[in-house]
Structure formats: structure tokens, C-alpha cells
Structure 1
Amino acid sequence: MKILVTGAVGFIGSHTAERLKSLGHEVVGIDNFSPYYSKVLKKLNEKALLDKGISVIEKDLRDENLLAFLPKDIDYIFHFAAQPGISKTSTFEDYFTNNILATKNLLDYALQLPDLKMFVNIATSSIYGLEATFPESVAPKPASHYGVTKLTAEQLVLQKSREKLMKSCSLRLYSVIGPRERPEKMYTKLIACAFNNKAFPLYDGSATHLRSFTYVGDIVDGVVRIIGKEDLVDGEIINLGTEVEHTTQEGIEAVEAVIGKSIKIDHVEARAGDQLRTKANIDKARKLLAYNPQTTLLEGVRKQVAWYEVNFLK
């Protein structure tokens, strides 16, 4: 099949594009190379994709008439592109245009594809709100602009399924870690602080926050299992993550154990909208996708540290 992956040079999008290619699919990536973080990492990811024969189109989904720039013979869309996370540097307009308008434009494009089998939206546990421990049937209570706009994007996608205009589903991901994690995310920042003898900025109260830290390879396992199950998952919301919880403090200690040194801590003001607890309820994913994440926190951290050493400690 010919598959379009949006946000293809990002963290999870790049891993998914590579996996799809390894499964024998023709993969086309699209990314706007947003300046949200350094383009150095994005170019590194792009090179990895190009080396594997995956083409990457530099294009912003907020631009209209995507059909003029993107292929017309796409069978599957995996939509990762978004304004991510909770950041003081991101405005509401950033979240609104990147998460809602961009998704609407992509849907307009998808509706013109004659062979499209499925539109897979990539969502987030932030949709649930300050605590994300629930099955997909629970009413969402997002507590950030990120969560609110990702919920809206999700509903735009699922609306097309309800209208019988295309098959679609949405995957809510939980606290993904691993190689290529964005530089502002917890583990990349912890690893960088450890190797560069800098203090890690720990948000007040967050040491006891609980997270389903899920290795990116386990997430991708669930994402690609959608293929071939179009009728089964059409219109569905599915959680992907690990059921194992760890505190932020345990995450810090895992990095310290792998690298073999203590990390200095700088306590900073808490972030509004930061989740207190995430624990993936994956009963539905197990039933529909035979999903079964296996990678432990320590294994995931080891792989991420190894990636960091190869690419940033030359």
C-alpha cells in the first residue's frame, strides 16, 4: 500500500514511517519542519528516512489545496502532525491552527482520494484531562489548549466516519519515550543534563506524578496493527500505552542508573494543565489489535541513552 505519514520527521512519526517501510509499504512523509524545536534533530530524522527510501515533502498542512502538492493515490493516512505538548512559548493560535485547521485541511484532501482505505488520527492521553486512567468511553475533560485542540481534531476525523464519508479511527497515545524524543521532553532533557553536568528543571510537585512511560517501539506496534482491520476499528477511539506506572522520580532514577551518575535538580514553578497521572487502559487495544507492550522503563531508557550518545556525543 501507499501510505502518507504526516509529521514524518517528528519523534513518533519517523519511527512509524520506518516501520511501515520495513513492512513493505511505499511511504511518503510530509512535515513543515516547524521551528518549535531545533531543525538539527528533524534533519537527522529526515536523513534516516531518506536513507531507507522514504520520500519527505516539506509542506505545511495549514496551507489549503493540499491535493496540488500531495499524491492522489494514497491508501492510508497516519496523521501525527500537531502542535505538541504544553509550552509557554506556544500560543492558542499555534494550537488552533496546527491541530484543528491543519486537520480540517488534511481531511479535505483525504476526501478527494479515490483509494483511501483508512484515516488514522494520532491523539493523546491529554484529551482525558489531569488524570488519564480511563477507558475510551469516559467523557474527556482536557485541561490545556493542547488537549482541547487535539480533542477537536479527533472529533473532526471521527465525524467523517459517522457521516460514512471515509473510514477513520483515533489512537490516544500515552507518555512516549525513546530515541528521537523531542529535546524539551523529559528523558532527552534528563540525558542531556546528565552528560553536560547541568541541572534538570523539575516542575514543583511533579516528582510524584505518575506516568505510563511507553517505549516508542511498543507504540508503533499498536499503530501499524490498524492496517487490515479497517472495518473493525472504523469510528473507534483506542488507547495505546503501557499499563505500568512510574513516578517522575523513578524516571530520573532510571536515567541515573543507566548513565551511572547523579543528576542535579533545579526546582521550577509548576505548569498549568500538567497531568497528575496517566495509566493506559488498554483493554480495547488488546481486544481489537492484540496489543501487548513489553518494553520496560529501564530498557527504553537504555535505548534512548544509546541513541543520544551516538548522535550528540561525537
Structure 2
Amino acid sequence: MNILVTGAAGFIASHLCETLVNKGHKVYGIDNFNNYYDTKLKRLNATDLNAKGVEIFEIDLNDDLSKVFEINYDYIYHLAAQPGISATTSLEEYVTNNIYATQNLLDFVLKYNPDLKMFVNIATSSVYGLEATVDETVPPQPVSFYGATKLAAEQLVLALSRTQKLKSCSIRLYSVYGPRERPEKLYTMLVENLFNNKPFPLFEGSEKHERSFTYVGDIVEGLSAIIGKEDKIDGEIINLGTDEVNTTGQGIDLVQKIMDKKLLIDHKPPRKGDQQRTAAVIDKARKLLDYSPKTSFEEGLKEQVKWYKEKFID
């Protein structure tokens, strides 16, 4: 089948592209290679994907996408977004890249690809608010621009399912980590700073934050399991993560153990909008997608350290 993945050169999307190719699908990607973080990493990912036969359209989702839709797709996985919680990212950027971009993509799908089997929106546990410890029936209470705009994008997608214009679902992800994680995210930054003996910025109280740290390989297996289940999950919101919970402090200790190095800490004041606790409730994913995360926290972190060393140290 033909499958389009947005944000293809990014962290999770690049792994998803590889998994889909390995399952025998023809995969296309979209990425605008913006400078939210150093494009070097995305270019490395894109090179790996090109070698596996993934064709990537370098285009912004807010632009004219008619060239992209010269191909008829069976599935679209929408991962492109303005990510994270950043004091330097304006509300306008979140709205433009999460809401407007999603709607523009949907408009082109309806015009050029109305026979799409399923539009898979990738959302986030940040929509739940400071405590993401509930199932999908609990009303969201986002506390950040990121969470609020991702919730709005989710609703734009699901509205097309409710009006029977397009089959769609939305998958809310929990604290994904692993090889290719963005450079400003916890574990890539942690590994980099340990390798280079640089102080690690630790926001006050964050070492006690509880997270459903989920290995990227488990996440993409769950996402790929959607294929063939479009009738079963049309209109559904599904949490995807792990029900194992660890603190940020435990993660830091584990990486120090794996690398056999001691971290230098640069203490920072608390960061506004940070979730205090996430604990993924994944009963629905188990039932509908036969989802079962298998990678232990230590095993996943070892893979991330190994990847960083191979790409940036050796």
C-alpha cells in the first residue's frame, strides 16, 4: 500500500517510515526541515530513509500540496507538528504549525484523495494537562500552547470522521524516547552532556516527575498495527505508551549507570507547563490494536546511548 507520513525526517516518524517499509509498504514522506532544532539530525534521518526507498517531499504543510497528492495514498500518518513546551516558541507558531497545517493537509486529502482508508492523527498526552493518568474518556485540560493546539488539531481530524467525510483516528503518545530523539529532549541531551562533560540543565522538581517513558520501537509497532483496522477504530482516540512509570531522576541515574559517568547538574527554576505525572492507561490500545510494549526502560536507553555514540562520537 501507499502510505504518506508527515514530519518524516523527525524522531518518531522516521522510525515509523522504516517499520512500514519493512512490512512491505511503499512509503512517502513530507518534511519542511525547519530550524526548530539543528537540521543536521533530520538530514541524517532522511539519508537513512532514502536508502530504504522512502521518497521525501521537502515542503511545508501550509503550502500548496498538490504535487504530494499526485500519488493516491491508502493511509496517512500525520506526525508533523510544532513540538514541545518552549518559552521561545510563540502561540502563533503553534497555531500555524499544529492547527493551520493540519487543516490544510485535510483540505488536500478531501480534494485529491477522498478514498483514503484512514487518516491517523498523532496527538499527545499533553492534552490531558498536568496529570496524564486517565483513560480516553476523561475531558482534556491542556495547560500549554502545545497541548491546546494539538487538541485543536485532533478535533479537526475527528470532525471529519463524525461527519463521515473521512475515516480517522487520533493516537495520544506518552513520553517517547530512543534513537533519533530530538536534541532538546531529555535523553538525547543527557547522553550528549555526559559524553562531552557538559552541565545538564535540570528544572527544579523535574527529577521527581513521573513519566510513562515509552521506547520508540514499541510506539511504531502500535502505530503500524492500525493498518487493516480502519473500520474498527474509525473515530477513536487511543492512548499509546507504557503502563510502566519511572521518574526523571530514575532515568538520569540509569543513563549514568549505562555510560559509567557522573552528570554535572545546572539547576534551573521550574518550567511552566511541565506535566507533573503521566501514567498511560493503554487498555484500549491493547484491545483494539493488540498493543503490548515489550522494551524495558534500561534496554531502550542502552539503544539510545549506542545510537548516539555511532552517529556522533565514533
TM-score w.r.t. structure 1 length?
0.98
Cα offsets for 1:245-272 (capped at 9, x unmatched): 0001001001001101111111101111
- Distance in 1, matches of 2:93 and 2:62, equals 11
Q: Is the 8 A contact 1:33 1:39 kept in 2?
A: yes
How far 1:110 moved relative to its partner? 1.1
Cα distance, 1:166 vs. partner? 0.7
Counterpart in 1 of 2:190?
Answer: 190
Greater Cα offset, 289-298 or 180-189: 289-298
Larger CA deviation: 107-116 vs 83-92:
107-116
Report what 2:82 is aligned to.
83
Aligned residue for 2:249, secondary structure, equals helix
Corresponding residue of 1:104: 103
1:114, CA displacement in angstroms?
4.0
Residue pairs, 1:235-314, within 5 angstroms = 235-314=235-314
Contact 2:129 2:140 in 1 (8 A): yes
Counterpart for residue 163 of structure 1:
163
Secondary structure class of the residue paired with 1:90: coil
Please name the residue that 1:43 is paired with. 43
CA deviation vs aligned residue, 1:116-164 (integer Å, no higher than 9, x gap): 1000000000000001010000000000000000000000000000000
Task: Kindly provide the amino acid, as one letter, of the partner of residue 200 in structure 2.
Answer: F
**Equivalent residues of 2:114, 2:166 under 8 A apart:** no
- How far apart are the structure 1 equivalents of 2:36 and 2:256? 28
Q: Conserved in 1, the CA contact under 8 Å of 2:85 and 2:146?
A: yes
Q: Name the count of aligned residue pairs.
A: 313
Give the alignment's Cα RMSD to 1 decimal: 0.8
Aligned letter for 1:201? P
Deviations 1:9-33 (A, max 9, x none): 0000000011001111000000000
Distance in 2 separating the partners of 1:238 and 1:265: 37
Q: Which amino acid aligns with 1:106?
A: L
TM superposition shift of 1:115 = 3.1
Bigger mean CA offset, 65-74 vs 142-151: 65-74
Query: What runs of 5+ residues in structure 1 fail to find an aligned partner?
Result: none
Identity %: 60
The answer to whether the Cα contact below 8 Å between 1:73 and 1:114 also exists between their aligned partners in 2 is no
Structure 1 residue aligned with 2:5: 5
Q: CA deviation at 1:302?
A: 0.2
* TM-score normalised according to structure 2 size: 0.98
Cα deviation, 1:209-228, whole Å, max 9, x if unaligned, reads 00000000000011001000
Q: SS at the partner of 1:255? A: helix
Q: 2:205 aligned with 1:208, yes or no?
A: no
Partner Cα separation in structure 2 for residue 2 and residue 298 of structure 1 = 35
For the residues of structure 2 that align with 1:211 and 1:247, how far apart are their CA atoms? 6
In structure 2, runs of 5+ residues without a counterpart are: none
1:153 is aligned to 153
Equivalent-residue separation in structure 2 for 1:180 and 1:54 (angstroms): 17
Deviations 1:203-243 (A, max 9, x none): 00111000000000000011001000000000000000000
CA distance in 2, matches of 1:289, 1:40: 34
Distance 2:128 2:236 in 1: 16
Give the residue type in structure 2 aligned to 1:168.
S
Residue 93 of structure 1: aligned partner: 92
Amino acid of the residue matched to residue 94 of structure 1? E
The residue that corresponds to 1:224 in the other structure is 224
Q: Per-residue deviation at 1:71?
A: 3.1
CA distance in 2, matches of 1:152, 1:30: 21
Q: Which moved more, 1:243-252 or 1:68-77?
A: 68-77
Letter in 2 for 1:71: E
